[in-house]
Structure 1
Amino acid sequence: MSAAPAHDLAGHTVLVTGASGPKIGSGVCDALHAAGARLVINDLNDEHVGRTVHRYPGAVGVVGDVSRPDDVARMFNEAIDRAGPLTGLVNNAGVGLITPMLDATQAEFDRIVDIDFRGVWLMSQAFARSVAAHGRPGAIVNVSSVHAGKTIGRYAIYASAKAAVEGLTRACAVEFGPIGVRCNAIAPGYVPINRDLVPPDYPAPDASWIATHTNSEQVLQRVIEPIDCGWAAQFLLSEQSRCITGQVITIDAGLTARLYNGDMSARIYADRERQATLRAEGQDAR
């Protein structure tokens, strides 16, 4: 059998939720469009969806809230009516929450769970039903986070929701596999926004913080960009990942692979060298 073109998505139609912002969704759309996929752009705001659709010739837009069952059903009907049967779904829509767990409100908890977890379930269920109805294989890519496995203070609810997404990813892989649907996830580390998609006065993160994070916390000293996440999603939607399901690809430049950050590692090395020098000189290294 001849090899399929690398990550080629020509003839595929992929719905990307939360796709109109300058964050990870922008990289996903860029990568999938470049690979030949027809995009179905989802977000909450009609104007934002329209602007995003304009960037990708052939794309269509569907406005709706992924956490509302009626919206999800309508979005799939509109998408299929306007773009044909879907072959891929990227569950990118999500919101964050940075607050101590002791101070978090019920409303804050519900909002995170509704969008970051319930929305993924509703969209995945609708997609699998659509694939089964049309008799074509399909693939789902869920956007998780490094917080699903390791987190910091004030991220407890967000981290829990992302951990639930990874559990759901594995469960969907098991249940949807017999009908030809694969399900995987990507877990990005810190990904700055695409500044090309925001106005000049859009609040920018502290550049010194990003530099410290990149150079001290990550193994690879380069900033992760939205397109890095897009390329991973592209692979997981392509024929070249046809035997991969139930997996999570971490895109964090080695953040979660190391035991200590660069500063702590340097201190440990320095102390080991100090002790070795003292031993060589016949002194007590304690």
Structure 2
Amino acid sequence: MVNFNGNIFPRGTNILNSNNRGLKYGDALFETLRYVNGTIFFWEDHYFRLMASMRILRMEIPMNFTLEFLEEEITKTIRENNFGKDAIRVRLNVFRNDGGLYKPEINKVSYLIETSKLESPFYLINDQNYEVELFKDYYVNKDMLSNLKTTNKILNVVASVYAEENGYQNCLLINTDKNVVETINGNLFMVRNGVIKTPPLSDGCLNGIIRMKLIEIITSSEELELLEESISPFELQKADELFTTNSIIGIIPISKYRKKEYDNTISKSLLGKLNAKARIG
């Protein structure tokens, strides 16, 4: 079951038509959320990121789009799917309503909520091989639109195909300055000699929620130092660890890039702190 503007429909129902602006122009935003036992992990952060993104894209925010309203709509969708106490992946889509060409006729929006089961209620570390490679065919732009979680993800799609064709688990995306920005599905962190670096938002990376939470965790630690600085591809093979982050999986240690193999000691320690932060809210 899916939730379209507060109405519940069976999955597969023809809800959207050929004039949908998300389909035609990628005129849409989305949030992917982890829901466990009545709690949406880091919900306030997701909500305020969505509101800020809608303002940047000049979307009209409905008066009823409160934190509480959208949380209840998510909970209603989960309840209608009879998931019980399962861990749930939620995708909240917001798109400008039909009408117009590039220039929309109106700025009002609709929303669509989809849900599916997750294997574990909390973030886990996967010790399996996770090899990555640079994707150099196309570049991430260094601007604010790249920070937003929009449905304009064709670069990520093509990079995913490249990774599949070449036997990699993920790819590292680079910006127009040829600096490493992020992975296909998350933010990037690099560890070297106790210092953890992650690209700044000005380099064009996604303003990720788990990125934000890890920055909070690392900066409050006495053992670790955080730097928000550009990462050159040449630095990758000197690193002790690389890992990527997103709201569904949490932390994914990268085991290999080219001839360099990485440890995952720091990423494992951070994962425990991230799970604790998620439980607190």
- Which protein, 1 or 2, shows the higher relative CO under an 8 Å CA cutoff with sep ≥ 6? 1
Larger Rg: 1
TM-score (norm 1): 0.24
Greater helix percent: which structure?
Answer: 1
TM-score (norm. length: structure 2): 0.24
